[in-house]
Amino acid sequence: MLRNSGKSKMKDWHRMFVQQLMSQGSMSGIEVFITAKILIEKFNQEAGFPKINLNHEDEKAQNEDIAEFIDHLFTTCNEALEKVNFQIKRGKQEMKEDDQYPQCYTFVCTEENEQIAKMQKIYSEPELELLKAICELLADEKIATETKLINLCKEGGFNSTRKKLTPIEAEKVIHTFAKEKYIINNRKHSRTGSKNTTYYMGARLILELENWLEKNIEVDMCRVCSKPVFVSVECTTRNCNNSYHRYCVEAKKKCKECKQPLKLDGATSKR
Ligand SMILES: [Zn+2]
Ligand SMILES: [Zn+2]
């Protein structure tokens, strides 16, 4: 447990939240919501706990209070973590699921080299090479089939002196990347392991390796939030070519630059 210096505003509920996130690596918005609810039930009688009304008549008001508590956890934990070069980041998946963009929370080291070292402890070099190749492919094609991702292990883009993954090894690690939400399985109902499964870039990878992506992959940057975007909405106006996250332009549906309407439907490949 982190020690309380006295000055720190970190209390038991903050520490439990950080521990939960650290042990899971990343959490979805729903998982964070459930955790917040548990923390409220466990700690709401304790001194210093934020005032939360647990007896709301309607669910919407109750959920808003929980969302506010999550914001409080997020801010307070990050204030404390900042001092030791860690950060909780949150972002949205680039494609909708059940009519909303699922949220992703992840625990990252703000020292970029440390963050990469963390990946190197988990994955072997050929596995990380494959992940890089997947990033390049998805930056280009936005969505790709599992077969296409597996076949990347055969391509000559890798340093030929290094060990390459066999297709079976590649398939296995691709399933791990998907389980860890580095890439997202696009079809909820497809059988796992089906070769027809398609994937897109996960918010977790974008959040954890944001600077690395900017430096190493030719990825578009969203013109609204200035963050890397894979499944982008592109302005089709000649010489404009701005890219956007769907969720960044969903309300206005207009290009920030040329003001032309944007088409949000479908995910089309650039090729
Ligand atoms: Zn954006
Ligand atoms: Zn435009």
What average pLDDT score do residues 56-79 get? 92
Ligand nearest to the CA of 239: 2
238 CA to centre of ligand 2 in angstroms: 8
What average pLDDT score do residues 67-76 get? 95
232 CA to centre of ligand 1 in angstroms: 9
What average pLDDT score do residues 179-188 get? 88
pLDDT band at 193 (very low <50, low <70, confident <90, very high): low
What average pLDDT score do residues 224-235 get? 95
Least confident of 53-57, 147-151, 178-182, 256-260: 53-57
DSSP string, 173-230: HHHHHHHTTSEEES-TTSPTT-TT-EEEE-HHHHHHTHHHHHHHS--EEBTTT-SEES
Q: What is the pLDDT of residue 86?
A: 94
- Residue 172 CA to residue 185 CA, distance in Å, equals 14
- Residue 91 CA to residue 93 CA, distance in Å, equals 7
196-222 pLDDT per residue, tens = 789 999 999 999 999 999 999 999 999
253 CA to centre of ligand 2 in angstroms: 11
- Residue 54 CA to residue 225 CA, distance in Å, equals 35
Ligand nearest to the CA of 232: 1
Say how many C-beta atoms besides its own lie within 10 A of residue 75's C-beta.
11
Q: How far is Cα of residue 231 from the mean position of the Cα atoms in its chain?
A: 13
Q: What is the pLDDT of residue 264?
A: 81
What average pLDDT score do residues 230-245 get? 93
| Percent of the chain predicted with pLDDT > 70 | 89
DSSP string, 94-117: SS-BTTB--EEEEEEESSHHHHHH
pLDDT band at 1 (very low <50, low <70, confident <90, very high): very low
What average pLDDT score do residues 37-58 get? 88
Q: What is the pLDDT of residue 204?
A: 97
Q: What is the pLDDT of residue 228?
A: 95
Least confident of 10-14, 143-147, 186-190: 186-190
Ligand nearest to the CA of 228: 1
Q: What is the pLDDT of residue 162?
A: 63
- Residue 128 CA to residue 116 CA, distance in Å, equals 10
Domain extents in the chain: 12-84, 119-216
For residue 53, what are the contacts with CB-CB under 8 A and spacing of at least 6? Answer: 62, 65
What average pLDDT score do residues 112-138 get? 93
Kindly report the average pLDDT of the chain as a whole number: 88
Pick the CATH number of 119-216 from 1.10.10.10, 3.40.50.720, 1.10.240.10, 2.20.25.160: 1.10.10.10
Q: What is the pLDDT of residue 155?
A: 76
Ligand nearest to the CA of 240: 2
What average pLDDT score do residues 107-127 get? 92
Please check the confidence at residue 159 and state whether its pLDDT lies above 70.
Answer: no
Written as six digits, the tokens of 26 are 């990343």
Q: What is the pLDDT of residue 188?
A: 57
Say how many C-beta atoms besides its own lie within 10 A of residue 53's C-beta.
9
Ligand nearest to the CA of 92: 1
